[in-house]
Structure 1
Amino acid sequence: MSCLLQMSAPVVDSIYTLSAFPVRGKEVAVTGHEMAAGGGLNAMVAARQAQIEVRLGGSLGSGPLAGMVAAALKRHGIDCARPPLEGLDQGLCTVLVEPDGERSFITHTGAETHLAEASLAGIALEDVDWVMLSGYSLREGPDGAALAGWIAALPARIRVLFDPSPIVAELPQSHLAAVLGRADWISANADEAQELHPSADAAACALSLAEARSGVVLRQGAEGCLLATGGNVTAIPAHRVVPLDTNGAGDAHIGSFIAELARSGDPLRAARYANIAAALAITRKGPATAPARAEVEVLLTDPVG
């Protein structure tokens, strides 16, 4: 079985379901609230649901929030590649979910941003086939630099997928260049892809980003995604649903894509699988809601799914 090592660690989401987005200085009614592990967990759960092995290479802390993350990892059968960091708790992300499913974030970082060079050197890679990381792990500072250098030095047999994340424009260029030079795949939404390679045309942007790598998945939300590989771009339509909560949709897409590509070796099938999995995930409230493999496979038989 293929093994994915996820280098972007989970945080805890404090999720508020709103009647409307608040105007500055005003108050709105909250129709629901929950706390759950999210962030980097979303892609890991999606990959586990698609039935590949997943391991956390990112940092887990040792406080009460980290305890929530550790329990979620155990529940989903995800082991840690490194021991917990003492004296640091996990980050907390306040998630504001509007009635149409759109979400906004306010994040306080924690243990997940600490990745010392010495601890990275201790990660066992013998059975690892895939490594995934997001831009959130490449912030300014020695830890981001250490991770970028570690990624650049990975053995050639290991495939790397990079998710630029919404903060891609803020990343140090040296960190970004090191990871882009090693990434076999990029999975980005339209805005992130434009930051990496500005272009008036989404297909041209995807093709440019795919040069000298295995491919690019340009996620387009309700429109599906573009798959750029082998000098060609294929538009893959979304699986149509009524969204309830879009929190973690991109992560669900990424984890599902990696898992199906690892299993089938077919990027087109993997992108179709990921579209369906992400669509089903947003019909459920909360983070880490990717569907089981059997739910997706039934819909893969639909040629327009």
Structure 2
Amino acid sequence: MITVFGSINIDLVSRTARLPRPGETVPGSEYQLIPGGKGANQALAARRAGANVRMIGAVGNDDMAATALAELDAGGVDLTGVQRRGNTTGMAVITVDDHAENTIVLSPGANAKLSADDIAPGSVGVGDTLLLQMEVPFEQTLAAARLAKAAGARVVLSIAPFLPVEREAFADIDMILVNETEAGDLARHLGLSPGSTGAETVSRLAGELKRTVIATLGPDGAVAATTEADTISVPALKVVPVDTTGAGDTFCGVLAALLDEGADLATAMRRAAVAGSLACAKPGAQPSFPLREAIELSLIDDPAFP
């Protein structure tokens, strides 16, 4: 069982030929309201990959809440742990350009009121996985990690969006997920020199923190360094990118799903990398997340994946 403790948002998305410079107005498409939030994204990605998933989050007492929960509900994510807090559901204002790059402004809304006390006693236990991100109050995220670790669960933290995290904050974390930029930022924050490659950076982080560290590398796939000093690299699937929003969350959710069902790290990373690539090939975040069948079919069709 995977429990996701994290954010639930509405993504307000507009497409434009290029991203605006400071002070500039550019024409955009008709906007879309798409369910999002890193917590919700990762929960749905894990569920579509075949995991049983419980979402612990908060939405507002507004009309946006139903839209924010629609894909999770339709996908079969357990929403009994979702609370109603305050007037507004979290919202991300996203601009996507013709090169599939994006800018994001995040208003937390109800996410700022989420508490580790919202995790029901006994609901996370031995053999379970707790998946965490950085869009709800960090002290509550750490409290949730302590609760789950004490109960014998695996605890996975996605440091996204990036915040400077001190060494002691990783005490109850088993696995750290970052992208290549976040890996470099975390290394510098901890007084380490980032490597010339993603593999070097995660190796230094894993050695310093005594935790498994995984970095996504965009079109170059992903790389992990374990506490045993092993390095695992997997390629991305070759796709024509349409929208990169949510690709990292897809990787995190699918990775957690595979690990939760007992796969080894290399197997989980291969499927997570494929899923992240497939998510880039469609517009929007949650609507683009692939089902497990699509992931497995892509593995069969791509000679880069054994």
Instruction: Please state if 1:304 is matched with 2:304.
Output: yes
Residue 45 to residue 262, structure 1, CA distance change in 2 (3 Å):
same
Residue equivalent to 1:141: none
State the Cα deviation string for residues 231-289 of structure 1 (Å, max 9, x = none).
11122121111100001010001101111222242110111101111101110011111
Question: Between Structure 1 and Structure 2, how many residues are aligned?
Answer: 293
Mapped pair 1:187 → 2:177: yes
Letter in 1 for 2:176: I
Secondary structure, aligned partner of 2:259: helix
- Which residue is 1:19 aligned to? 17
| 2:135 equivalent in structure 1 | 136
Normalised by the length of structure 2, the TM-score is 0.88
TM superposition shift of 1:58:
2.1
Give the conservation status (yes or no) of the 8 Å contact 1:14–1:93: yes
SS in 1 for 2:29: strand
2-structure distance, mates of 1:186, 1:37: 25
Distance (whole Å) between structure 2 residues aligned to residue 268 and residue 160 of structure 1: 18
| Aligned counterpart in structure 2 of residue 157 of structure 1, from 147, 152, 165 | 152
Give 1:196 shift: 2.2
C-alpha separation between the residues in 2 aligned to 1:208 and 1:195? 13
Q: 1:271 to 1:75 in 2, by over 3 A?
A: same
For 1:182, what is the secondary structure of its paired residue? coil
Q: Deviations over 1:4-36 (max 9, x none)?
A: 111112100000011221233332221342101
The counterpart of 2:161, out of the listed 156, 166, 173, is 166
Task: Name the stretch that deviates more: 95-104 or 151-160.
Answer: 151-160
The aligned counterpart of 2:274 is 276
The gaps in structure 2 that reach 5 residues or longer are none
Q: How does 1:223-262 map to 2 (within 5 A)?
A: 223-229=220-226, 230-262=228-260
> Once the 2 structures are TM-superposed, how far is the Cα of residue 128 of structure 1 from its aligned partner?
7.0
Is 1:42–2:41 an aligned residue pair?
Answer: yes
Alignment pair present for 1:210 and 2:201: no
Identity %: 27
Counterpart of 1:59 in 2: which secondary structure?
strand
Q: Is the 8 A contact 1:136 1:167 kept in 2?
A: no
Residue type at the aligned position of 2:168: A
Q: For residue 101 of structure 1, what is the amino acid of its counterpart?
A: A
User: Residue 21 and residue 146 in structure 1: after superposition, are their counterparts in 2 closer, same or farther (change >3 A)?
Assistant: closer
SS at match of 1:203: helix
* TM-score between both structures, scaled by the size of structure 1: 0.88
CA contact (8 A) 1:81 1:123 kept: no
Aligned counterparts of 1:110 and 1:134: Cα–Cα separation in 2: 16
C-alpha change, 1:50 and 1:121, in structure 2 (3 Å) is: closer
Q: Which moved more, 1:249-258 or 1:66-75?
A: 66-75
Matched, 1:197 2:194: no
> Measured at CA, do residues 123 and 49 of structure 1 come closer, stay the same or move farther in structure 2, by a change above 3 Å?
same
Amino acid at match of 1:98: D
Aligned to 1:57, what secondary structure does the other structure show? strand
Please state whether the residue corresponding to 1:89 is helix, strand or coil: coil
Counterpart for residue 221 of structure 1: 218
Q: Which runs of 5+ in 1 are unaligned?
A: 139-143
**For the Cα contact (< 8 Å) 2:111–2:135, is it kept in 1?**
no
The range that moved more, 287-296 or 115-124, is: 115-124
Secondary structure of the residue that 2:73 maps to in structure 1?
Answer: helix
Change in Cα spacing, 1:164 to 1:269, as seen in structure 2 (3 Å) is: same
- The residue number in structure 2 matching 1:31 is 29
Q: Are the equivalent residues in 2 in contact too, given 1:19–1:31 (CA < 8 A)?
A: no
Deviation at 1:146, TM superposition (A): 3.4
Q: Which runs of 4+ in 1 moved over 6 A?
A: none
Secondary structure class of the residue paired with 2:61: coil
47-56 or 118-127, which deviates more: 118-127
* Residue identity opposite 2:237 in structure 1: H
Amino acid at match of 1:94: V
- Contact residue 115 and residue 147 of structure 1 kept, 8 A: no
Q: 2:283: which partner in 1?
A: 285
Q: By how many angstroms is 1:108 displaced?
A: 1.3
